[in-house]
Amino acid sequence: MSSSLEHRVNPESDPSCSMDTQAVLRRVSWRLMPFLFALYVFAYLDRVNLSFAALSIRRELGFSDSVYGAGAGLFFLSYALFEVPANLALLRIGPRRWIALIMTVWGLLSTAMALVHSAESFYLLRFLLGAAEAGFFPGILLYLTYWFPLQQRARAVARFMTATAVAGIVGAPLSTVLLRLNGVAHIAGWKWLFIGEGLPSIVLGLCVLGVLTDKPEEAPWLAEDEKLWLLAEVRAHESGAAAGHEAHWLHAFGNATVWVLASIYFAISVGLYGLSLWLPVLVKSFSHASDLRVVLLTAIPYALAAVTMLLVARSSDRTGEWRSERSLFPRREYGADSGRSGRCRLPGYAARLRPAALR
């Protein structure tokens, strides 16, 4: 396969070969991003739907603020402990099979939250849910680097991460509908909430096997020359960034940049999940509105966040703000032409690939 592709893009055999690179990127985006977006919507819902159930579950099971807070926090303890091992597993197993596995497992665990009857069972399921979800977000960020060249990644990541805001917008009315099932089949509304929002994750996890493709060279929906161009675009930056930087992954802990970025992300996460998990409780305390009205009110901040995230990402890609972060993302001079014109000459790009690239 690789030899036939090399022949097609050889300057001597086909000097006039060209393609619309923007059309290739649009096809990749439409093929992957809507599905990944849906996955993250339910992934985020499964970790924060506890906040929508908080008012009912605390009242019915008699959980104090400390019990609720400890259970909510245990998710992040296991998430942090298993994040690195989970992503090492992704590299070994492959994104498609690994994402399908962990999403199915966390869907089962989220659904099992309906069985909580004590503080101990609450703690256990939250801890296991965090371990199951640990590999998803960083795994998808890695997966996007397989498919999107550097200049398009900010927008791709933003579209993916906007799911957190959309989950808040969609989750509020969805949770309201599920909570209204209170008493149906003699099941409490908060239990219907966990069942109704956990089952879609199980279904989507099974769908991952048929929808996602691990890497561009395996995509049956891309032409062979398109695979070559996309691989060359993605790998050009990888080869430059990796040169002279081969080291054991543990050495990252001695890198000051890693700690700065980790601190920034820690601060973001504290604010994000502090808001997500406690907002309904706080709104209820000062508004004294009904539980269902409180849940709907919590959608407002997420709607504003979704719009802001997309605008910031669009600005980053259009103005080239990412280029100023040279220590993290070295500029690819060769890519300037393709970014401006939307077209490229295949020979120049294919030459950057090794012969075994598509084996």
Q: What is the pLDDT of residues 79-127, one digit of tens each?
A: 989 988 998 999 999 999 999 999 999 999 999 999 999 999 999 999 9
In-domain check, residue 13: no
In-domain check, residue 115? yes
In a domain, 32, yes or no: yes
Residue 25 in domain: yes
Task: Look at residues 349, 322, 291 and name the one whose alpha carbon lies nearest to residue 156.
Answer: 322
> At 342, is the secondary structure helix, strand, or coil?
coil
172/161 Cα distance (integer angstroms): 18
SS3 84: helix
Nearest to 158 by CA among 318, 311, 327: 311
Kindly tell me the sign of the dihedral angle through the C-alpha atoms of 295, 301, 303, 309. negative
Residue 8 lies in a domain: no
Model confidence pLDDT, tens digit, residues 14-69 = 433 467 888 999 999 999 999 999 999 999 888 888 888 888 898 899 999 899 99
Domain hosting residue 54, numbered range: 18-241+256-323
CATH code for the domain in which residue 127 is found: 1.20.1250.20
Whether the Cβ atoms of residue 123 and residue 1 lie closer than 8 Å to each other: no
234 lies in a domain? yes
Q: What is the DSSP string of 173-232?
A: HHHHHHHTTTTGGG--HHHHHHHHHHHHHHHHHHHHHHH--SSGGG-TTS-HHHHHHHHH
Name 51's Cβ contacts closer than 8 Å, sequence gap at least 6: 276, 277, 278, 279, 280, 281, 298
| Residue 11 domain-assigned (yes or no) | no
- Number of domains within the chain: 1
Residue 20's SS3 state is: strand
0.85 surpassed by pTM: no
Domain membership flag for residue 334:
no
